Amino acid sequence: MQELVSLLLPIAAASGWYAAKRHYTRKYLLDHDRSLGRTHYRGLNYLLDDPRDKAIGVFARWLPEQDYETLETHIALGNLFRRQGQLEKAIEIHESLVNEPGLSEPQRNRVRYELGMDYMRAGLFDRAEAIFLDLSHKDTHRKPALEQLLHIYQQEKEWAKAAACTRQLLSFANTPRGENVAQFLCEMAEEALQLGRQQQALEHVAEALREDPGCVRATLIKARLALANGAYDEALHTLRRVETQNPAYLSEIVQPIVVCYEHLADGQSLGDYLEYLYRTYGLLEAAVKFAERLRNTSGATAAAGYLMRVLEAKPSLQTLSRVIDLLTLPEGTDRIPELKGVGIGRIGLAARRLLADTPRYRCAVCDFSGVVLHWRCPACQFWGTIAPAF
């Protein structure tokens, strides 16, 4: 730590010198030796990225020279201020450099990119967008400028622009953080639904599925629209597509599947499908729904017995809680007299409280967990990485 502090002292001196110099004159001696400037820049960035051994080695060669008259040094100082949160100073340095008449076009574009980063960090997205839009047409900065534009459009929830930007980035390689056009189209569909524009939402969903046939989110939105319009056959057909798209999300279709079959008055097919989901995928949600159906046809004790077998095969707090719920029904305690007076209801309450605090969803990238399904992880910001945990 002491070494780092000692290294920062000359930088502080440099920034003080720079402020005083700018007060009296805006001319920089940009025609000085650039090789030393590159050394300064490399040393400063080592320091910012915190590989201290490299930084110490570079600055050991730099300090005796005491030459701050280089473009690279001023860019690095501006970046240092930005990373420390001193955004006004960072903007001031980079704006002054942009206005220097002696810069070549590549140098000016480089400074403009850093200035755009300053603006974005300061929340001045309109200014940052203007810079990055222009740089996105420059060969040397096209990809990084598009990446920053994508970040801005997501922050501002401008999903159509985000989709267009993503399509351009796909010409380079996979986009950062798993962004894909289908997710942005789903966001547009959700916004249309909030405004009551069902047809527009359907069009966005259809485009999302053309863009990514495996997009579970688009399928769920499409099924939700069919359910809202009473089209239960269509909703059922749509929901069953999730199995071929991504079985990890099958727990999300169990309740709407139950609703569809109940409205279609096809209890036998419902029971068969729930059993299929449990046998094939070990889906506890399906087993619980099957037990609820069994309770209606054969009683609470039969349902509890079925869930006990499920619990023994695959112990889970969710199944245990439902077993206790079924056993504490009047029919359950009448059929199993030894349960009376043992306080099993209190045990069930404790199990439900524990279950309420148990995360239902988890991110495969950063391990973020929660009780709500986010299509974009709030922690790592990756898209499509959160799935049901059980």
pLDDT in tens, 213-271: 999 999 999 999 999 999 999 999 999 999 999 999 999 999 999 999 999 999 999 99
Task: Determine if the pTM surpasses 0.85.
Answer: no
The span from the CA of 336 to the CA of 332, in Å, is 6
Residue ranges of domains in the chain? 2-122, 361-390
From the DSSP assignment, how many helices (H) and strands (E) are in the chain? 21, 3
Residue 222 CA to residue 182 CA, distance in Å, equals 13
CB-based contact 250:281 (threshold 8 Å): yes
Answer with the residue of higher pLDDT: 73 or 169: 169
Tell me: pLDDT of 355 over 90: no
Only one residue has tokens 């940009």, namely 30
- Of the candidate ranges 46-55, 114-123, 312-321, the one whose mean pLDDT is the lowest: 46-55
Q: What is the mean pLDDT of residues 4-18?
A: 48
Report the percentage of the chain scoring pLDDT > 70.
73
pLDDT the model gives residue 330: 57
Q: Helix, strand or coil for residue 369?
A: strand
pLDDT higher than 90, residue 12: no
Q: What span, in angstroms and rounded, lies between the C-alpha atoms of 174 and 188?
A: 22
pLDDT for res 77: 84
User: What tens digit of pLDDT does each residue of 275-304 get?
Assistant: 999 999 999 899 989 998 998 888 888 888
* Residues in a beta bridge with 362: 369, 387
Q: Does the pLDDT value for residue 29 go beyond 50?
A: no
- Total residues belonging to the chain: 390
For residue 370, the SS3 value is strand
Q: Angle formed by the axes of helices 267-281 and 284-298, to 10°? A: 140
- Confidence class of residue 339 from pLDDT cuts 50, 70 and 90? very low
Q: What's the CA angle centered on 272, arms 270 and 278, to 5 degrees?
A: 105
Q: What is the model's pLDDT at position 307?
A: 85
Position 4 pLDDT exceeds 80 = no
Which residues line the annotated binding site for Fe cation? Answer: 363, 366, 377, 380
Task: Kindly list the strands in the beta sheet with 361-363, ordered across the sheet, starting from the edge strand earlier in the chain.
Answer: 369-370, 361-363, 386-388
CA distance 238 to 141: 43
d(CA 213, CA 201): 17
Q: Show binding-site residues.
A: 363, 366, 377, 380
Q: Is the pLDDT of residue 23 over 60?
A: no
Rounded Cα–Cα distance for residues 359 and 186 (Å): 25
Most trustworthy range by pLDDT among 11-15, 76-80, 343-347: 76-80
- Checking if the pLDDT of 344 tops 60, the result is no
Alpha-carbon span 317 to 353, nearest angstrom:
10
Instruction: List beta partners, residue 123.
Output: none
Angle at Cα 164 formed by Cα 216 and Cα 167, nearest 5°? 70
DSSP assignments along 276-291, one per residue: HHHHHH--HHHHHHHH
Q: What is the pLDDT of residues 146-198, one digit of tens each?
A: 999 999 999 999 999 999 999 999 888 766 566 789 999 999 999 999 999 99
pLDDT of 58 above 50? no
Over range 360-389, report the average pLDDT.
Answer: 92
Conformational region of residue 282, where left means phi above 0, alpha means psi within -120 to 50, and beta covers everything else: left
Pick the most confident of 19-23, 68-72, 115-119: 115-119
